[in-house]
Amino acid sequence: MRSNYPCFSNLHVSHSSPLTLTMLHVLRFTSSTNDQLLKDFLVKKASILEDWLKRLCSSVGGMVDVQDKSVADRKKVMISRAIQSLIEVYKEKQQYAITQKFEELKNIL
């Protein structure tokens, strides 16, 4: 899947890169913060995050052998937790259209 954003257009999605794993870990905790500036930032960047997460979901879905399946299952859990945290942020910020997109993304996973 190709990104609609120039900053991501040449970026190969690697679901095991340290940056990706760190981002997923950080996103997982965004709903529990009281930092409204961070939450506002996440609302502004929702389309970029959606595109990135779609690409991650797509790359994890391509893992087929038994060993890959175990790794893929763990990565799906990480992605799902990050998406759920974002859903909670978008609900809190009353961004219902964005919330729905991320709920659909989570259901695809």
Average pLDDT, the chain: 85
pLDDT value at residue 13 = 52
Q: How far apart are CA 78 and CA 31, in angstroms?
A: 15
pLDDT value at residue 12 = 47
**Domain boundaries, given as residue ranges, for the chain:** 17-108
Q: Within 17-95, where are the H helices?
A: 18-28, 36-44, 46-61, 66-92
Q: Which residue has the tokens 């996973």?
A: 109
Residue 14 or residue 72, greater confidence: 72
Q: How far apart are CA 48 and CA 99, in angstroms?
A: 14
Q: What is the mean pLDDT of residues 9-37?
A: 81
Task: Give, in degrees to the nearest 5, the angle at Cα 40 between 33 and 50.
Answer: 95
Condensed to tens digits (0 to 9), the pLDDT of residues 59-96 reads 887 666 667 778 888 889 999 999 999 999 999 999 99
